[in-house]
Structure 1
Amino acid sequence: MKNELKHELFHQFPILKELANKHTVLWENTNWQKETTTNLFSMQEVDEAEETLTRFSSYLKVAFPELLESQGFIESTIQDIPLIKKALERKFDVSIPGQFILKCDHALPISGSIKARGGIFEVLRHAERLAIASGKLKKEDNYVVLGTKDFQEFFQQYTIAVGSTGNLGLSIGIMGKKLGFNVVVHMSSDAKEWKKALLREKGATVIEYEADYSVAVEQGRREAEQDPFCHFIDDENSKDLFAGYAVAAKRLKHQFEKTNIKVDETHPLFVYLPCGVGGGPGGVAYGLRELFGEQVHIFFAEPVASPCMTIGLMTGLHDAISVEDIGLDNKTEADGLAVGRASKFVGKVMETYISGCYTVTDEQLFTSLGLTMDSEGIFLEPSAHAGMFGPIQLMKNGQNYLEKHHLTNKMEQATHIVWATGGSMVPKEMREKYLKFSRNSVNLQNE
Structure 2
Amino acid sequence: MKDKIVLGKTIDKWTKDYPLLEDLICTKEVFWTNPKYRKFDEAIKNISLSENHVKDAEERLQRFAPYIEKVFPETKDKQGIIESPIVEIPDMKDYLDAHCETNLLGNLLLKCDSHLAISGSIKARGGIYEVLKHAEDLAIDHSMLSKEDNYAILDSDKFREFFSQYSVAVGSTGNLGLSIGIMSAKLGFKVTVHMSADAKKWKKDLLRSKGVIVVEYESDYSKAVEEGRKQSDANPNSYFVDDENSINLFLGYAVAAYRLKKQLDELGVIVDRDHPLFVYLPCGVGGGPGGVAFGLKLAYKDNVHCFFAEPTHSPCMLIGLMTEEHDQVSVQDFGIDNITAADGLAVGRASGFVGKTLENLLSGDYTIDDDKLYVLLSALADTENIYLEPSALAGVGGIVDLFNTKAGQKYLRDSNLIDKMKNANHIAWATGGSMVPKEEMDKYYEKGIELSRE
* TM score, norm. by length of structure 2: 0.97
1:9 aligned partner, one-letter code: W
Q: SS of 2:78's equivalent? A: coil
Q: 2:388 aligns with which of 380, 394, 405?
A: 380
Q: Say whether residues 1:21 and 2:26 are aligned partners.
A: yes
Q: How far is 1:173 from its partner?
A: 0.6
Mapping for residues 352-431 of structure 1, pairs under 5 Å: 352-397=360-405, 398-431=408-441
Amino acid at match of 1:238: S
Deviation at 1:291, TM superposition (A): 1.2
CA distance in 1 between partners of 2:164 and 2:188 (Å): 5
Q: C-alpha distance in 2, partners of 1:99/1:443?
A: 27
| Mean Cα deviation higher: 122-131 or 5-14 | 5-14
Q: Could you tell me how far apart the structure 1 residues matched to 2:47 and 2:271 are?
A: 26
Structure 2 match to 1:30: 35
Which ranges in structure 2 are unaligned for 5 or more consecutive residues?
none
1:23 Cα shift?
0.8
SS at match of 1:332: coil
Q: In the TM superposition, what are the counterparts of 1:59-98 in structure 2 within 5 Å?
A: 59-98=67-106
Greater mean alpha carbon deviation, residues 184-193 or residues 3-12: 3-12
Runs of 4+ deviating beyond 3 Å: none
**Residue segments in structure 1 that go unaligned for 5+ positions in a row:** none
Give deviations 1:60-82, integer Å, cap 9, x for gaps: 10011111110110001110000
The amino acid of 1:181's aligned partner reads F
Q: Distance in 1 between matches of 2:404 and 2:35?
A: 19
Counterpart Cα distance in 1 of 2:101 and 2:184? 46
Deviation at 1:229, TM superposition (A): 0.6
Note the C-alpha offset of 1:111. 0.4
Residue equivalent to 1:170: 178
1:56 alignment partner, SS class: helix
Distance 1:24 1:422 in 2: 22
- Among residues 134, 150, 156, which one is paired with 2:142 in the alignment? 134
Instruction: Report deviation, 1:124.
Output: 0.3
Cα deviation, 1:291-323, whole Å, max 9, x if unaligned, reads 111110010000000000000000000011111
What residue identity is the alignment partner of 2:404? Answer: K
Q: Does 1:443 align with 2:446?
A: no
Corresponding residue of 2:12: 7
| Correspondence 1:24-423 to 2 at 5 A | 24-35=29-40, 36-37=43-44, 38-397=46-405, 398-423=408-433
Provide closer, same or farther for how the CA distance between residues 364 and 32 of structure 1 changes in structure 2, counting only shifts above 3 A.
same
Encode CA deviations 1:122-178: one digit per residue, 9 max, x unaligned.
000000000001111001001000001110111111110000000000001111111
Q: Give the partner amino acid of 1:294.
A: D
How far is 1:44 from its partner? 1.6
Deviation at 1:41, TM superposition (A): 2.1
Other structure's SS at 1:68 match: helix
Q: Which moved further from structure 2: 406-415 or 90-99? A: 90-99
- Please, what TM-score do these two structures have when normalized by structure 1? 0.98
The DSSP-based 3-state class of the residue aligned with 1:270 is strand
Shift of 1:257: 1.5
Deviations 1:76-132 (A, max 9, x none): 111000001111111222321101100010000000000000000000000000000
Measured after TM superposition, the shift of residue 415 of structure 1 is 0.3
Measure, in 1, the Cα distance between the counterparts of 2:415 and 2:66: 45
CA deviation vs aligned residue, 1:4-37 (integer Å, no higher than 9, x gap): 3422221111000011111101000010011222
Report the identity percentage: 54
SS of match in other structure, 1:365: helix
| 1:280-300, Cα deviation, whole Å (9 max, x unpaired) | 000000010111111100100
Residue 400 of structure 1: how far off its partner (Å): 0.5
Aligned residue type for 2:29: T
Q: Distance in 2 between matches of 1:413 and 1:316?
A: 34
Structure 2: distance between partners of 1:402 and 1:336: 30
Amino acid of the structure 2 residue aligned with 1:320: Q
Quote how far apart the aligned CAs of 1:327 are: 1.3
- Displacement of 1:40 in angstroms is 3.8
| SS of structure 2 residue aligned to 1:252 | helix
Query: What is the root-mean-square deviation of aligned Cα atoms in Å?
Result: 0.9
Moved more, 28-37 or 332-341: 28-37
Residues 193-230 of structure 1, C-alpha deviation per residue, up to 9 Å, x if partnerless? Answer: 00000000011000000000000000000111000110
CA distance in 2, matches of 1:42, 1:8: 39
Q: 1:361 is matched by which residue type in structure 2? A: D
* CA positional deviation for 1:39: 3.0
DSSP-derived class of the 2:306 partner: strand
